[in-house]
Chains A and B, each alone.
Chain A
Amino acid sequence: MFRHLFLLFILLTSIAPAFANPAIEWIEKMSDSMRNLSYSGNFVYLHRNQLESMSILHIKDDFGETERLLSLNGEAREVIRDNKNLTCIWPDSRKVVVDNSRQNTFSPLFVPDDITKISKYYDMSLSDGDRVAGQKTIIVEIKPKDQFRYGLKLWINSGNGLLLKSNLIDEQHKIVEQVMFTNLEVLDQKEQKLRITMPQLDDSFSLVRYHSGDASGNLEADRSWRFTRLPAGFWQKSALKRRVADTQRFIQQMVYTDGLASLSVFIEKQTVQTPQGETSMGAVNGFIRILDNYSVTAIGEVPAVTVRLIAESVSRQEP
């Protein structure tokens, strides 16, 4: 009898990951909490040996989500995001930029539908974490199985599911970017009303709109562009074309993802001479290539080899 139970136990534990991955469940919980709770806190953002301190206010109310990010050191920067707009304010240079906001971008972590597919390229594990911002955490670790994607380590509040710390880890196992809260509190309805304040702007500010139209104004991407060689597991998630506000120029954007990592390829007619080759900023890598008088730029939070491979795989076929 016990032998049968033991065998049944072994069988169930061996097939369990196919049905439910506890790491994924925690990611889902975190994503839900980050979108649906109202919270306020300060965090540090470390990138390329630079440390920045920021404040975040996230409000979920009847209007939807509103998020306000404020830099606390260096030149003042402020980003306000709601369901429609992404507003960036640079008080020192007296600029205000209003751009379109995508509703889904509030989700701090995209939870892929096809877990099996993700598991082919990443290992995911769960472990107990240290205290972060005075709160007990659980750690979700996502390790890539090849050199085409970054790894991620997440410290999640073991109670309310809010993300308290995240490390982005490159192919050499180095931390390339890090976010860590120093304090984070959940706000009730009364508190969230008190916290919403307006940025202080005076008459010397000017409004600069960068991109035209709204998301629905995007045109269908040109089908003459082909990608002959993609890194394993990457597929095209979307393709769109939009016009730059004050010009007749069009930019095409193709988004590629493996379910977790993503990169975009931007294609536009070359107007000025553009240098070709690799570029980077923190964990973001880019590769610029000129093809038939078009600049092809691949950028994303993936290793340099990945953006290069994709940019070099672009070819153009006359329609």
Chain B
Amino acid sequence: MKPAAFDYIRAEHLDEVLEALRREGSDARIIAGGQSLMPMLNMRLAKPKTLIDIMRLPELARIDSSRGAVTVGAGVRQASLLQWPELGRSLQLAGLALPWTGHAQTRSRGTVCGSIAHADPSAELPLVLQALGGEVHLRSVSRRRRVAARDFFAGMMATTRADDELIEAVSFPTARGRCAFREVARRHGDFAIVACAAVNTGDGVRLAVGGVADMPAVRDFPRLEGSAVDDAMNRFAYELDARDDVHATARYRRDLVRMIGRDLVREVLQ
């Protein structure tokens, strides 16, 4: 339960981070808050040759709200976003989901972008990014690009980030419609057995589900009423690639999606 040996780079400029990533590629890992990466290191599920610490870069520690999106830099801790005064107005869904993201004792260090980078299938922040149709801002020595959330997550703890790319920030579109979030876990703050987020899109509802398949599943529904909601949730739950694991059976997960999904759809369409 101790990490394997690695070199540790404490970066003071963004150029140093990008250059180290260019030179060392998949042998290097970025460490920000470390709340997802450190357990992987301790259990030796990850054995990078180099860790690059980005937490001394003030330019990455910014939350910026402009042009209909909230952009959260790679150094912004989850607790900082939770305390951001504009959260309730600009990013209500994240405000609902963040209290479920780990515990206060991990949110104090864990970053928003770190959770997105880790891409755990039951994590709340990838789910929120998917539900809102957000983007991941990637940067390497030679290029900058933005990838839509639906193209970023590639499977269980897998993303389309290239080895030489830094997640510089993520941006969440400011949602105007009602939204809702609910989660079931064995203990508040543990990994979700099922987490659901719903957003009123104006002409219907978008439902995102985490914890069930190997990455968040997103589906858009038209305005539904009465038993049509139950029918749609039955079909959606049935089509999910649900897994059995030590925490819950696939069947239980589908049942939760049916029930929570129905409640959330009704809530945001009210």
Q: Do A and B come from one complex?
A: no
